């Protein structure tokens, strides 16, 4: 795999080639993922749950993400590395610029922020200054206490329309990738078709341009339960490299996610 850039992902979208991505938090897994050809690695604030053992992502700090971004960067040669901006680290434009700088200097190629229209100004400010941004709509886990739980989003027609509108506003502001999480498959398809940038889904059906999984879910080792939208690829293959290759291949063939992994 040659160096992965946003332009390469855009070409894949245009060619209708579906791509996989996965979270990574350390150099060893990042190297393994990179070796088997995983184009995108996300240093996710899901680390609050899968690494730190919390019930949500809110306790994660910029220092935590920067540390793990340095670890992932050390292991990943060609994968595009996205670093999550954690809870309240992008509440104001000034904070956003300061904290995104720390994550880029830790080795990220792009930062990811959760939310819609309210982020337009920050997204434009980052992009204008040379920091590429990935958006995140739908079930945005940093807002779990506003949602009243980890619940599927965008089911009501007005909420679905609003999400499409916010996706377009973020794209106009400069985001170069968008993650959509736990939304009905038809809404994810609509957003993917409405946007010119690649859209990556998790619990969002098989019509998005890319898929993402939390690595612990893909290996079936998450504490508690495996989400409906995830799959234990290790159980089928018995080997971590083969598991990740199977995930990449099944996304490309559009056999993952299957009907049982999506919300209608």
Given the rule CB under 6 A, which residues bind ligand KIV? 23, 42, 44-46, 84, 179, 181, 202, 212, 214
CA distance 218 to 50: 12
Give the shortest CB-86-to-Na ion separation in angstroms.
Answer: 8
CA distance 5 to 2: 9
Query: Is 46 marked as a binding-site residue?
Result: yes
Radius of gyration (Cα) for the chain, nearest Å?
Answer: 17
181 classed as catalytic? yes
3-state per-residue secondary structure call for 75-89: HCCCCEEEEECCCCC
Give the shortest CB-84-to-ligand KIV separation in angstroms.
Answer: 5
Which partner from the list Na ion, ligand KIV, none does 212 bind, CB cut-off 5 to 8 Å by kind? ligand KIV
Give the shortest CB-49-to-ligand KIV separation in angstroms.
Answer: 8
Query: Is 45 a binder of Na ion (CB under 5 A)?
Result: yes
Parallel, antiparallel or unpaired: strands 133-138 and 40-43: unpaired
CB nearer to ligand KIV: pick between 170 and 212? 212
Which partner from the list Na ion, ligand KIV, none does 179 bind, CB cut-off 5 to 8 Å by kind? ligand KIV
Partnered with residue 110 across adjacent β-strands are 82
**Active-site annotation holder among 117, 162, 165, 181:** 181
Judged by DSSP in three states, 262 sits in coil
Which has the closest alpha carbon to 229: 152, 147, 114, 135? 152
Q: Mind telling me the catalytic residues?
A: 181
Q: Which residues are annotated as a binding site?
A: 45-46, 84, 112, 114
């Amino acid at each position: 795999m040659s160096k992965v850039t946003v332009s390469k992902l855009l070409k894949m979208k245009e060619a209708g080639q579906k791509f996989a991505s996965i979270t990574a938090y350390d150099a060893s897994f990042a190297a393994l993922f990179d070796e088997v050809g995983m184009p995108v690695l996300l240093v996710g604030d899901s680390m609050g749950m899968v690494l730190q053992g919390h019930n949500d992502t809110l306790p994660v700090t910029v220092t935590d993400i920067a540390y793990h971004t340095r670890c992932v960067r050390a292991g990943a040669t060609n994968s595009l590395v996205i670093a999550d901006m954690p809870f309240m680290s992008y509440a104001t434009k000034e904070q956003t610029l300061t904290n995104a700088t720390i994550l880029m200097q830790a080795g990220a190629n792009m930062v990811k922020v959760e939310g819609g229209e309210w982020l337009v100004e920050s997204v434009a400010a980052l992009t204008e200054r040379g920091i590429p941004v990935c958006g995140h709509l739908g079930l945005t886990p940093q807002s779990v206490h506003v949602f009243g739980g980890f619940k599927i989003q965008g089911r009501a027609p007005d909420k679905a329309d609003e999400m499409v509108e916010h996706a377009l506003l973020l794209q106009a502001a400069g985001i170069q990738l968008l993650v959509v999480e736990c939304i009905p498959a038809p809404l994810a398809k609509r957003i993917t078709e409405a946007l010119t940038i690649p859209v990556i889904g998790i619990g969002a059906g098989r019509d998005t341009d890319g898929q993402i999984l939390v690595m612990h879910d893909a290996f079936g080792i998450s504490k508690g339960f495996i989400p409906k939208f995830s799959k234990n690829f290790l159980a089928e293959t018995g080997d971590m490299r083969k598991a990740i290759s199977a995930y990449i291949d099944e996304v490309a063939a559009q056999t993952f996610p299957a009907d049982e992994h999506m919300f209608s």
